[in-house]
Amino acid sequence: MFKFERLEVWKKAVETYELISEETFKINQKDQYSLGEQIRRSSLSISTNIAEGTGRNSSKEAKYFFNIAKGSVYETVSLLVIMKKRGYLEEEKFREFYNICDEIAMMLSGLMNK
C-alpha cells in the first residue's frame, strides 16, 4: 500500500472527485468544456497532488504539493459557486460539496503544519 492511500484527506479527495464528477454531466453542452471539464480537472488535482506530495523525499517538497492541492480545493469551490449560480447545483448539493472542500482544506493545512 502506498503512503497516500492511508491518508484520510486523500480518501476524502478521491470521493469528492467522484461526487462532483457525477454532477458535471448535468451541465449543458455550451458550458461542458469550460465549466464541466475545468471542475473535473481541479477536483481531480486535489487527490493527485496529495499523492505526489507523499512521494517526495523532503517535507519542503511535500508541502509544496500539499499547497498546490489546497489551491485546487479553492479553485473547485469557486467553480462550484459558478455551477450553483448557473443552476447546475441545488443549494443542498452545493452546501454538501462546499463543506467537504472546507474540511479537505483544513486537513491539508494540518498536513502542511506537521
pTM above 0.75, yes or no: yes
- CATH (domain of 34): 1.20.1440.60
Closest CA to 72 of 51, 95, 94: 51
Express each pLDDT in 35-86 by its tens digit. 999 999 999 999 999 999 999 999 999 999 999 999 999 999 999 999 999 9
Instruction: Residue 78: give the domain boundaries.
Output: 7-112
H or E element in which residue 85 lies: helix 59-85
Q: 47, 13 in Cβ contact below 8 A?
A: yes
19 grid coordinates: 461526487
Q: Could you tell me if residue 42 is inside a domain?
A: yes
Separation between Cα atoms, residue 61 and residue 64, nearest integer Å? 5
Instruction: Count up the domains in the chain and report the number.
Output: 1
Q: Could you tell me if residue 2 is inside a domain?
A: no
E-strand ranges in 1-114 read none
Express each pLDDT in 85-111 by its tens digit. 999 999 999 999 999 999 999 999 999
